[in-house]
Chain A
Amino acid sequence: MEENEKLITRSDLLKTIGQSVILIGVGAGGYAAWSNVTSKIAKKTTKRTATGYPASPWYAMAIDIEKCIGCGSCVQACSVENDVPEGHFRTWIERYVIKEDGSVDISSPDGGIHGFPEVSDENVTRAFFVPKLCNHCDDSPCTQVCPVGATFETSDGVVMVDYDWCVGCRYCIQACPYGSRFWNEKKRTADKCTLCYHRIKKGQVPACVEVCPTGARIFGDISDKESPVAKFVRENATNVMKPHLKTGAKVQYKGLSKEVV
């Protein structure tokens, strides 16, 4: 019969079903393995503590620009505490001098580690110091570009470099919009501020905070309402640098002028 030739036999049908099951099995197995890989590493919590932070503790720093006297104590202390190679800085100070004609002089000789030179105060409208450091962004470009997961945000909100895993591609140094990273030729890895993770985990404050003579740097667990940093941010008008980038920067500045870049 002509009709019959188009019909498949029972054994053919069973064979096709069997093969399809195997194919689907392979596909599902592959997918399961893949999602097993990605589900763990793409973990980004949307949970919030009672005070609105992803976890507790959630470390943060605030900087009171009106209190900074540009003495360089923080830069010195940081360099010693963290064995920072000469010429590089995990934290540094910039001086902004705004002139009557509207021009702005920005300088940071040696990161301000030896303070700042005397300059003429002629035609100066306004001048101030701005201490800078890694902003420990919650949604950081640097952690996103790292190809090997050697830079990341810890579960308590600190962005750091895994020195034993960094392959030294330096992509993160390019990605940081704040210029907070540098190439450490001693370690041969990217390097940056860790908020003195080795100190804060022992109940100390970061070295720069410890030595700041005027309390221009305020540190603490911002998820704790009673911490100095939570209090400071609550009681003062503060802002982060380059908020339009939406990097989730954690360093809050009081008295941030529009000239500060």
Chain B
Amino acid sequence: MAPQVVRIAIVFLVVICLFLGVRSQAVPKGFGEDGFHRIQAPQMIASRAMSHAGRKACAECHEDKFKVTPHVQKGVGCETCHGPALAHAQNFETIKPKVPSTRADCTRCHARLVGRPDWFPQIDPNQHNPGKRCMECHEIHPSE
């Protein structure tokens, strides 16, 4: 065989070995075992901690708040108004979720607004009993 062919073969061999060598170092553990990514990545993201508990978690201690009201009936979750409360559910003595109290806490949903669909109950905050707290008249959680 011609010597240049042998030389080319050697060059190819060296390049292939070099490629495989570099690759074995550059490719992380678990890569390519389930597609073009590290197999452990989804698991790492799935193991992150949550901050919203979900409404089912609240029922355990606040059964009384699940009485039928327009909000409960239409499926407005507890954390929609009270904010993320997983920390509270796990540690209810020291951590308290926020309790809405201002008119703005209600008007962010109920103020009449361009874009808000007609089926949704809306009020004009400047006309609807201005200056008074909404909860003076609207019982969010009926006491009995």
**A77 close to B84 (CB less than 8 A):** yes
**A197 close to B45 (CB less than 8 A):** yes
- The answer to whether B135 has its CB under 8 Å from any CB of chain A is no
- The answer to whether A137 has its CB under 8 Å from any CB of chain B is no
**B111 close to A204 (CB less than 8 A):** no
- A124-153 contact mask (Cβ, 8 Å, vs B): 1 or 0: 100111000000000000010000011111
In the bound assembly, the distance between CA atoms of A15 and B84 in angstroms comes to 78
Interface stretch (choices B25-33, B59-67, B88-96): B25-33
Residues of the A chain whose Cβ atoms lie less than 8 Å from the Cβ of B52: 77, 80-81, 199, 204, 207, 210-211
**B50 close to A149 (CB less than 8 A):** no
In the bound assembly, the distance between CA atoms of A67 and B116 in angstroms comes to 9
A162 and B38 in contact (CB under 8 A), knowing A204-B54, A211-B52, A211-B80? yes
Q: Which residues of A in the span 97-149 have a Cβ within 8 Å of any Cβ on B? A: 97, 114-116, 118-121, 124, 127-129, 143, 149
**A154 close to B42 (CB less than 8 A):** yes
**B36 close to A164 (CB less than 8 A):** no
| B interface majority secondary structure | mixed
- The answer to whether B99 has its CB under 8 Å from any CB of chain A is no
- A1-44 contact mask (Cβ, 8 Å, vs B): 1 or 0: 00000000000000110011011001101100100010011111
Interface centre among A26, A66, A68, A213 (most CB of B within 10 A): A213
Chain A residues in contact with chain B, CB under 8 A? 15-16, 19-20, 22-23, 26-27, 29-30, 33, 37, 40-44, 66-73, 77, 80-81, 95-97, 114-116, 118-121, 124, 127-129, 143, 149-155, 158, 160, 162-165, 194, 197-199, 201-202, 204-205, 207, 210-215
Q: 6 shortest A-B CB distances, which residue pairs?
A: A152-B37, A162-B41, A198-B48, A201-B46, A127-B115, A41-B36
